[in-house]
Structure 1
C-alpha cells in the first residue's frame, strides 16, 4: 500500500538536485501568464472602449478566454510533463515546457472534451461532476506515455485506470491543505509548494497508474 508519505518522499527525491528547475519552471509559467494577462487586458480595453454594450463585452471576453486557453493549456501540460520527468529522475530541460505546442491539436481537443464531459455530468449534480474530474485526471500523463491514443481514448483510459483510486487522489491533494493555507498568507511559499505538489501529483500517476498498467501488461503477456 502506497501512502501519501511515500508519494511525497518520491517527489522530494526527484526534486533533490532539481529544486532550481522545479521552482524556475513555476516562476517562468507565472511570468508568462502575467504577461499574457496584461496584454489581453489592454486588448479588452481597446476593443470595448468607449462602448459599454454588454454584447460587445461578452464577445470580447469569449475571445479572450479562447486565447487564454490556447496559450495556457499547453504550458500547464508541459510543466506537468516536466515534473513527471523529475519524479522519474530523468533529464528535464526547461524547453520541455514548450514541446507540448507540437501536440496542440490533440491537447486542445482533449482539454475541451474533458471540460464538456465534466460540465455535462455536473448538470446532474455537483458530485457526479467531481467524480468525473477525478476520473479524467490522469489523461495528460497517459498521453505523455501513449501519444498514439486519441483524445477520447486517453480520457476513457484515465477513467478505467482511476477506478478505485479517486479517493486516494483526493486524500493526496487534501494533504497539501496546509501548504495552500500558508500560500494565502505568504505568496512566496508557492515557489516551493507548487513544484512539490506537481511532482507529488506526477508521482501518483507513476506509482498507481503507470505501475499498475505495466503489471497488467506483464500478466497479459504470460
Structure 2
C-alpha cells in the first residue's frame, strides 16, 4: 500500500486538532509515569546505600510497575488515539484495560510483555536483528489495543504482514519528527538552566509530550490505513 509521511502526518494533525487537550494530557500522563524510575535512580547516594536485597526489591517493584501498570496504560493510550482517529476519543480510555475485567487485563499484559521481550531478545543478539524485530512488530501494541483477546503470536504475525515492504517508510516517517525533538531538546536545556532540577524535569516532560502527541496521532492514522484489509 502506497502512502507518504506528509499524507499521514496531515491526517494525524487533523485528528489531533479535534481534541488536542485530551490527546496531550494522555501522553503527558504516560510520560510522567515513565519518568518515575528515573526519579529513583537520580537519587544516586540513596540507591547506593541500599543493601543487595533492597536494590533487588526496588528493581522488582519497578519491573512489576512497568508490566502491570505502564504496559496496560500504553495500550490504553493506543486505544485512545485510534478512537481519536475515529472522532470518538475520551480521556478515560487511558484506563480502558483496567476496567474491562481480569481476563482482558491479563491478556493485554501478556501480549504487550511478549512483544517487548521479543524486541529485547533480538537486540541482545545483535543490534540489527533488534531493529528489524522492532519494525516487524511495530504495530503489535496497536493491534492488541484494538483486539486485546488476540494472542501475542497472532498479533505479531499481523504486524509483520502490515509492515511488509513498509519498514523503510516507517523509519523515514519517524525521522521527520527529529526537528520537533531537536526543538524540544533546546527548550528543555534552556529551562534546565534557570529552573530547579525537579521543576525543570517536569517542564521538560511537558514539552516533549507535545511532539509525542503529534507522533502518536500520525501512527494511529497510519495504523488505520494499513490495517483496513488485514484486520
Q: What TM-score do the two structures reach when normalised by structure 1?
A: 0.80
Q: Structure 1 residue 213: deviation in Å?
A: 2.1
Match of 1:66 in 2: 64
CA distance in 2, matches of 1:180, 1:16: 20
Matched, 1:54 2:71: no
State how 1:73-112 maps to structure 2 within 5 Å.
Answer: 73-89=71-87, 91-101=88-98, 102=100, 103-112=104-113
For residues 66-95 of structure 1, give each alpha carbon's deviation from its aligned partner in whole angstroms, at most 9, with x where no partner exists: 223321111111112111111222x11111
SS of equivalent residue, structure 1 residue 78: helix
Query: Retained in 2: the 8 A contact 1:169–1:204?
Result: no
SS of equivalent residue, structure 1 residue 16: helix
Q: Structure 1 residue 10: deviation in Å?
A: 0.3
Gaps of 5+ in 2: 188-203
CA distance in 1, matches of 2:47, 2:220: 44
State how 1:27-176 maps to structure 2 within 5 Å.
Answer: 27-33=28-34, 41=40, 52-89=50-87, 91-101=88-98, 102=100, 103-176=104-177
Q: What TM-score do the two structures reach when normalised by structure 2?
A: 0.78
Gaps of 5+ in 1: 215-222
For residues 1-28 of structure 1, give each alpha carbon's deviation from its aligned partner in whole angstroms, at most 9, with x where no partner exists: 3111100110111122211111222233
CA distance in 2, matches of 1:49, 1:197: 35
Query: Retained in 2: the 8 A contact 1:73–1:108?
Result: yes
How many residues align? The count is 207
Cα gap change, 1:53 to 1:86, in 2 (>3 Å): same
Cα gap change, 1:146 to 1:60, in 2 (>3 Å): closer
